[in-house]
């Protein structure tokens, strides 16, 4: 008897689920004693007990004399839906409630039994077709496996018969894999393992039927997926109620569609789908257990065979998906099983996998329909959450490797390289899976464009007539989510940035591809999550400049036909009336033609000579921001704790004033100018279209957030006596006047208790962040949209990145500035005066460094991407003299005389930056 015969001598009768392989102590084989980590083991053991409570509630113990209040046999349990029974089972587990002994006559429940019972009660089938068309009589216990292994089968018991076609399909599961590994170790030959992996992993049919769950998911699985990652015995009743409510919402919103079969034409997906649920038949725990055993094989003797099998598999799938829109599989609905099994390979980001297999897998995945991409994203978020980081790292390594090793030019750029673009497409699926796997706010918090402003100002007649161009991603639309919904992603968004790629992209070409109507052109602007903020800022800059040039051309055309118009947005203001003058000027522009706001800004200070090449505009923005946030105006309140400004709900200023601020913010972005404004992050989230929530209080008012958090976490029954809080709140305006507000009708008589504390917190946060400043913020946002509504701002930037766009980076690394600085007029980096200059600068306190930036560039802010993006030029301005340094702020040029000593340079430089406001800048 050969080694292979020994493996299968006993048939498949001993096959068990992967969870049993991983956790059953009586398995004697060392390979079978694979253990998961402690938390997983505890959770698996807890799940088994919870399932016993579940069936006790649904079926009872079979004892007609049972007196257990939590057993169906006692007659004391009301009719429960599966979801309700699952939720109550978790509560009974946490309470260590009485558990009956099952009677020996008890029969195992089947999926169809539960389905029929659910349907009798009018309950939706939670396990609907979950095993697909090849599942017959599936049960919650281990099913009887196939027997009768054909002698001529290459893999013997690793073949399953397709009953409808009579064909044999090779497959593998963890139990079989462990047997093969044991045999190979005993015989010191891995030929059987290599042959098996080569046959299974090269065939989509074989792989789709491998590592299949021995039983369908119960409501317990779905409920535990939503459970907080902590000891299940420490779950609170409120946690279980929220989990059950979420599960009910999922079932209510779930659409299970069955489309007719038939041949596909022109690549359109039209093949039969047995189940469109966002679930899979793959037993992830078993799969990981199998991979763990497999990759412990010394010398990686099988990896070359596995890599070549994956290349064959991916090539076939890519061809079939590209040409026919569907895979030529016996069960096309199991296609995602294939991708899940492949993407779970733990070494996908190393050695041969990275260079050979992963690029082919990405190419195949890039041809998945949007619907299948959405399902894959949900599957990764639900079942493969802990795999997301490793998968993201593998894709990042592949892209970086191809960028560094590639030879790109204007004729052949990174957008033309499939081994870069296809991993980016797959990364988008991971990106949305990352959002789904994190903490999400309900989509109801997203708000549409503001309604018309009711005000007598001229701006009220034009604000709101422009509709912001929508840039909705098809995958996001299919998933019905938005990046704004993400309160806390599973992985930080910054981990999706790829700096080598961002540096290699020629953004002018990428922008041209983005604007191109040809669908064959790939643009990274449609995959903005992978770009650094600096690269995205450049893309926005091109969009803005093209609009400016377009307005100039239109002005020239109008001049030719006898209707001359100004090609620029010209503002003429007085320094001592800058707010009033700017308001009047912008009102007139908005009244005549709001599109003029998209022209290049040119500012002129009355009574002063000078041509605005950028420097005068910078000073204008600096001065107007100082005036706007002046406490004398009373438009904003200052938060001492966070050093930020917030809208004054009792401001006497007109809506037009707040609209002006919004326009200023939009113009600064449009003209690539950084402002010295200090808003909490919630302002930028609201600007992008999301209402403020309780969680936004953390960076707006940390003390208040801490107090409300303590209220939410308080569990004792004496809450009313402890907090003595009603639904009536008080707040103060900028002048210290106290106001009272009832959060709901009769709020003064309603005390906050355990049942309504969450409602109180939500209403309180909504009042402070939304309703009480609605009028002011609506005008502010409307002004902002007047300038930005047709730009790709919403496509490219998240709220956190918009803050950088407005305020600049917070990283004052002057070493970066020194490396990026250029020299002119005879100076070089080794000139003694230059060496002295940087020695002085590096020793300056931060405030003096800010003043130096202000003096040399017209702004004390760091551009997005850091000081390395600031192209400072230091030019020679004659020999030694008593003159102070001067600067061309329009061009970031610092004019420096060649002082004879370091001490004199320090003296003249400090005087220049400390007393230069309005002087010394050209």
Nearest to 628 by CA among 661, 583, 663: 661
Helical (H) or strand (E) element with 247: helix 237-253
Q: Is 890 a catalytic residue?
A: yes
Query: How many Å apart are CA 32 and CA 24, to the nearest integer?
Result: 9
End-to-end CA distance of the chain: 94
Q: How crowded is residue 920: how many other Cβ atoms within 10 Å of its Cβ?
A: 18
* ∠ Cα 697 700 702 (to 5°): 70
Give dist(CA 785, CA 450) in Å, integer. 10
Residue 282 is classified by DSSP as: B
C-alpha 484/C-alpha 51 separation (Å) is 37
70 torsion bin: left (phi>0), alpha (psi -120 to 50), beta (else): alpha
Pairing between strand 636-639 and 644-647? Answer: antiparallel
CA distances from 36 to 291, 632, 687 (A): 12, 64, 46
Q: What is the DSSP letter of 890?
A: T
Of 72, 68, 86, nearest to 123 by C-alpha is 86
User: CB–CB of 212/219 below 8 Å?
Assistant: no
CA distances from 259 to 129, 133, 262, 274, 530 (A): 14, 14, 10, 9, 36
**Residue 876, φ and ψ in degrees, nearest 5:** -75, 135
Query: Which stretches of 444-522 are assigned E, i.e. beta strand?
Result: 486-488
- Partnered with residue 446 across adjacent β-strands are 690
Contact by Cβ (8 Å): 672, 658: no
Query: Is 918:607 a contact under the CB 8 Å cutoff?
Result: no
Buried-state track 817-827, b at ≥16 Cβ within 10 A, e below 16: bbeebebeeeb
Residue 354 CB-half CA count within 13 A: 18
Return the beta strands (E) in 751-844 as ranges. 822-824
User: Taking Cα atoms as reference points, which of 801, 795, 789 lies closest to residue 547?
Assistant: 789
Name 169's bridge partners. Answer: 160
CB 381 within 8 A of CB 425: no
**Host H or E run for residue 645:** strand 644-647
CB 540 within 8 A of CB 533: no
3 state DSSP class of 285? helix
Cα atoms found within 13 Å of the Cα of residue 533, Cβ hemisphere only: 20
Contact 822, 892 (CB under 8 A): no
664 with 628: CB under 8 angstroms? yes
Q: Which residues are catalytically annotated?
A: 890
């Amino acid at each position: 008897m050969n080694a292979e015969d020994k493996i299968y001598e006993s048939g498949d009768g001993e096959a068990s689920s992967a969870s049993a392989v991983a956790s059953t102590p009586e398995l004697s084989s060392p390979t079978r004693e694979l253990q998961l980590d402690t938390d997983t083991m505890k959770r698996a053991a807890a799940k088994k007990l919870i399932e016993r409570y579940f069936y006790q509630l649904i079926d009872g113990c079979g004892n007609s004399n049972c007196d257990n209040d939590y057993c169906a046999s006692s007659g004391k349990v009301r009719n429960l839906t599966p979801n309700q029974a699952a939720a109550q089972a978790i509560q009974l587990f946490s309470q260590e409630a009485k558990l009956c002994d099952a009677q020996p006559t008890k029969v195992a429940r089947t999926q169809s039994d539960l389905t029929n019972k659910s349907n009798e009660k009018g309950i939706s089938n939670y396990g609907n077709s979950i095993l697909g068309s090849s599942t017959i009589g599936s049960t919650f216990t281990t099913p009887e496996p196939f027997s009768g292994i054909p002698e001529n089968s290459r893999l013997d018991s690793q073949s399953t018969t397709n009953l409808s076609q009579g064909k044999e399909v090779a497959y593998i599961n963890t139990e079989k894999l462990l047997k093969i590994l044991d045999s190979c170790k005993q015989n010191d030959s891995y030929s059987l393992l290599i042959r098996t992996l080569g046959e299974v992993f090269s065939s989509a049919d074989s792989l789709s039927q491998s590592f299949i769950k021995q039983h369908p998911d119960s409501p317990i699985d779905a409920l535990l997926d939503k459970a907080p990652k902590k000891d299940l015995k420490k779950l609170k009743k409120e946690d279980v109620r929220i989990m059950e409510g979420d599960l009910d919402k999922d079932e209510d919103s779930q659409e299970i569609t069955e489309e007719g079969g038939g041949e596909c034409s022109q690549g359109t997906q039209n093949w039969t789908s047995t189940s469109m649920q966002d679930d899979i038949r793959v037993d992830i725990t078993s799969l990981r257990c199998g991979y763990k055993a497999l990759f412990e094989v010394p010398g990686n003797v099988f990896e070359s065979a596995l890599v070549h099998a994956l290349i064959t598999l991916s090539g076939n799938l890519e061809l079939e998906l590209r040409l026919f829109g569907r895979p030529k599989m016996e069960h096309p609905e199991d296609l995602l099983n294939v991708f899940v099994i492949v993407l779970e390979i733990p070494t996908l980001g190393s050695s041969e996998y990275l260079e050979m297999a992963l690029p082919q897998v990405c190419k195949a995945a890039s041809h998945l329909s949007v619907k299948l991409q959405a399902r894959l994203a949900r599957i990764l978020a639900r079942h493969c959450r802990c795999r997301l980081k490793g998968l993201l790292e593998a894709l990042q390594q592949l892209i970086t490797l191809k960028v560094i090793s590639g030879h790109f030019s204007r004729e052949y750029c990174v957008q033309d390289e499939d081994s870069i673009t296809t991993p980016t497409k797959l990364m988008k699926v991971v990106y949305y899976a990352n959002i789904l796997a994190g903490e999400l706010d309900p989509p109801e918090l997203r708000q549409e464009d503001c309604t018309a402003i009711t005000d007598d100002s001229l701006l009220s007649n034009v604000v709101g007539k422009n509709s912001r161009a929508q840039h909705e991603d098809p995958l996001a639309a299919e998933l019905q989510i938005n990046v704004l919904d993400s309160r806390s992603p599973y992985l930080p968004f910054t981990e999706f940035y790829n700096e080598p790629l961002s540096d290699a992209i020629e953004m002018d070409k990428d922008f041209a591809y983005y604007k191109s109507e040809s669908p064959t052109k790939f643009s990274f602007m449609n995959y903005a999550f992978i770009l650094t903020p600096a690269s995205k800022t450049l893309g926005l800059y091109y969009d803005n400049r093209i609009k400016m040039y377009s307005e100039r051309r239109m002005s020239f055309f109008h001049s030719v036909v006898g209707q001359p118009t100004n090609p620029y947005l010209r503002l003429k203001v007085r320094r001592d009336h800058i707010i009033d003058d700017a308001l009047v000027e912008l009102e007139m522009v908005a009244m005549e033609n709001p599109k003029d706001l998209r022209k290049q800004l040119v500012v002129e200070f009355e009574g002063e000579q000078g041509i605005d090449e950028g420097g005068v505009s910078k000073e204008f923005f600096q001065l107007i921001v100082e005036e706007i946030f002046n406490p004398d105006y009373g438009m904003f309140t200052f938060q001492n704790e966070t050093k930020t400004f917030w809208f004054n709900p009792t401001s006497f200023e007109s809506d037009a004033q707040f609209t002006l601020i919004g326009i200023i913010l939009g113009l600064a972005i449009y003209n690539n100018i950084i402002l010295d404004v200090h808003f909490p992050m919630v302002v930028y989230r609201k600007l992008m279209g999301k209402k403020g929530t309780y969680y936004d209080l953390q960076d707006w008012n940390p003390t208040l957030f801490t107090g409300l958090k303590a209220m939410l976490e308080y569990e004792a029954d004496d809450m009313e006596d402890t907090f003595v809080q009603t639904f009536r709140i008080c707040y103060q305006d900028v002048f210290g006047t106290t106001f009272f507000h009832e959060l709901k009708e009769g709020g003064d008589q309603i005390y906050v208790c355990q049942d309504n504390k969450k409602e109180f917190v939500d209403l309180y946060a909504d009042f402070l962040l939304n309703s009480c400043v609605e009028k002011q913020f609506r005008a502010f946002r409307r002004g902002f949209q007047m300038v930005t509504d047709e730009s790709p701002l919403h496509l490219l930037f998240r709220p956190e990145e918009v803050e950088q766009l407005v305020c600049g980076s917070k990283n004052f690394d002057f070493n970066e500035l020194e490396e990026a600085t250029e020299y002119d007029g005879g100076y070089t980096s080794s000139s003694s005066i230059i060496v002295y200059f940087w020695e002085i600068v590096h020793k300056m306190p931060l405030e003096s460094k800010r003043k130096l930036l202000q003096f040399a560039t017209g702004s004390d802010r760091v551009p997005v991407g850091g000081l390395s993006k600031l192209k400072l030029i230091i030019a020679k301005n004659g020999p030694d003299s008593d003159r102070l340094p001067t600067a061309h702020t329009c061009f970031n040029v610092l004019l420096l005389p060649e002082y004879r000593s370091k001490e004199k340079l320090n003296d003249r430089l400090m005087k220049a930056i400390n007393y230069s406001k309005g002087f010394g800048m050209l």
